[in-house]
Chains A and B, each alone.
Chain A
Amino acid sequence: NAGVMQNPRHLVRRRGQEARLRCSPMKGHSHVYWYRQLPEEGLKFMVYLQKENIIDESGMPKERFSAEFPKEGPSILRIQQVVRGDSAAYFCASSGLAGDTDTQYFGPGTRLTVL
Chain B
Amino acid sequence: SQQGEEDPQALSIQEGENATMNCSYKTSINNLQWYRQNSGRGLVHLILIRSNEREKHSGRLRVTLDTSKKSSSLLITASRAADTASYFCATDKDSSYKLIFGSGTRLLVRP
Residues of chain A touching chain B, judged by Cβ–Cβ distance below 8 Å, are 31, 33, 35, 40-45, 48, 55-56, 58-59, 91, 93, 95, 101-109, 111
Indicate if the CB atoms of A42 and B101 lie closer than 8 Å.
Answer: yes
Number of A-B contacts (CB under 8 A): 62
A44–B98 CA distance with the chains assembled, in angstroms:
9
Smallest CB separation, B85 vs chain A (Å): 14
Contact string against A for B residues 78-111, beta-carbon threshold 8 Å, 1 for contact and 0 otherwise: 0000000000101010011111111110000000
Closest chain A residue to B101, Cβ basis: A42
Q: A41-B103, A106-B45 are in contact. Are A48 and B97 (CB under 8 A)?
A: yes
A34–B44 CA distance with the chains assembled, in angstroms:
15
Smallest CB separation, B32 vs chain A (Å): 11
Smallest CB separation, A24 vs chain B (Å): 14
Contact partner of A106 (CB less than 8 A), chosen from B43, B95, B104, is B43
